[in-house]
Structure 1
Amino acid sequence: MNDAYASTPTLKPARELANLPPRFPGESAEYRRARNDLLAEEIELRRQIERVAVQRRALPPGGIVPEDYRFDGEAGPLTLSQMFGAHDTLVTYNWMFGPQRGRPCPMCTVLLSAWDGEMPDILQRVAFAVIGRSPLDKLLAFKQERGWKHLRIYSSAGNTFNRDYAAEDPTGDDNPAVNVFTRRGGVVRHFWAEEMGPSTADPGQDPRGAPDLMPLWTILDMTPGGRGTDWYPKLAY
């Protein structure tokens, strides 16, 4: 057994917790039975998410970052280690807005728009950087257009960070990537990266990480129509 699970307490069966009486106006006995069956699965899903989070936190030390990458930021040049500020953890997102793109990826944009609203809370716990390969002026112009207030935007146009940690081809398309870094005793290490993609996708599903980082999809997953099969966000409607 993984040491991360050694102290897991004995939990009540999810089916026992999900044995609820009728709750809402007009619901049938058939609906309540099906809803309680679903609730039991939702409880198990929550528990699985927590087990995965415990296992993630228990990862051994990752690789030492090969160089202190230098970026262009809104307040001037800075290095990866300086992005941490007062924190010991840094989360980075590779924004698909490379120099070959006239406009950024719509999927990245809807995700970043959601995170912008959460950023004041996120920054209480960790540092967070949004990194794109385009020149900084181009990235910031879109930030202003979109009305983002809290995202910290950086250009990696002069380094290999995106290639090293997002497998991007400098002459080809961008790749999205979430990476987490730690700083201990002045040493910066890679802690975790979202590594799900097309090669790990199940048949009939878009490649995505788990848990899904996009609030949009979380909301749609609660609806009868779900995510749909041919709808994607746009930059404007």
Structure 2
Amino acid sequence: MTETLLPAAELAARNPVRILNESAEYRAARQKLLIEEYELRRLTERVAEMRRALPPGAPVTGDYRFIAEDGREVSFAALFGDHRTLAIYNYMFGPQRARPCPMCTNLLGALEGNANDVMQQMALAVVARSPIEKLNAWKKERGWKALQLYSDANGNWSRDYHAVGDDGGDIPGLHVFTRRDGTIRHFWSGEMTEGDPGQDPRGAPELAPLWHMLDMRPEGRAPDWYPDLDYPK
């Protein structure tokens, strides 16, 4: 039996928070916003429920080989370790790049801080097309410890799972796979490829906390600003 939820307006009306010296105009607008925030939270959960209820995805049948950080060649199945679920991020760091994509790097930097927690529940791998020596050097420069980087050994992964475009350029993406009863299947991938007018391209769910924080500014996120790999100290 599905529990009946109280209307978001009723929950907002119970809000006891008042900010010192706020105006009546501010409070009225804030209460309207609070209603939408309650609705957004519920929409987020409904989307997550729909994702979890997806039917079995396509079986993984390709010959995917990866070079691990220690130089070993490993299979796709080995990326799961002891877990039943695996997430792979396609890192925009192909051999044509001297340095990787700043946007991907920002996202992975935030994920680095949570990787050990994530890997208690699922396997996590970062795959790029550059040689493993190049990836290892970059990981050391960034000071990453937890993220596990892999080089696409034979290029099959990048071709089949949308990590390289027709022009040879890199394409980022997050993919989730399951291993059940000895069968590996695709479960979910981010497929939002177009932004709305006046917005920078973005996915949903938004993985990078950077953008959630910048959305808290009165100005919001700037559509023409992106993070750099390094900043002056």
User: Shorter-chain-normalised TM-score: which range?
Assistant: over 0.9
RMSD (Å) for aligned C-alpha atoms: 1.3
* Aligned counterparts, 1:108-147, within 5 A: 108-147=104-143
Q: 1:95 to 1:22 in 2, by over 3 A?
A: closer
Q: 2:156 aligns with which of 147, 153, 160?
A: 160
User: What is the SS of the residue equivalent to 1:191?
Assistant: strand
Q: Tell me if the contact between 1:71 and 1:158 (Cα under 8 Å) persists in the aligned partners.
A: yes
Q: 4+ residue stretches of structure 1 with deviation over 4 A? A: none
Q: 1:138 to 1:149 in 2, by over 3 A?
A: same
The residue number in structure 2 matching 1:212 is: 206
Q: TM-score, normalised by structure 2?
A: 0.94
Q: Tell me if the contact between 1:21 and 1:32 (Cα under 8 Å) persists in the aligned partners.
A: no
The residue number in structure 1 matching 2:218 is: 224
Q: 1:234 aligns with which of 214, 219, 228?
A: 228
1:184-225, Cα deviation, whole Å (9 max, x unpaired) = 111110000000013xx2111122111211100011111112
Q: Which is further off, 206-215 or 99-108?
A: 206-215
Structure 2: 5+ residue stretches without partners: none
Deviation of residue 157 (structure 1)?
Answer: 3.6
Total equivalences in the alignment: 229
Q: Tell me if the contact between 2:200 and 2:223 (Cα under 8 Å) persists in the aligned partners.
A: no
1:26-59, Cα deviation, whole Å (9 max, x unpaired) = 1111111111110110010000000000000000
Structure 1: 5+ residue stretches without partners: 1-6
Aligned residues: percent identity? Answer: 58
The residue number in structure 1 matching 2:9 is: 15
The residue number in structure 1 matching 2:25 is: 30
The residue number in structure 2 matching 1:4 is: none
Q: Tell me if the contact between 2:63 and 2:156 (Cα under 8 Å) persists in the aligned partners.
A: no
How far apart are the structure 2 equivalents of 1:130 and 1:56? 22
User: What is the SS of the residue equivalent to 2:40?
Assistant: helix
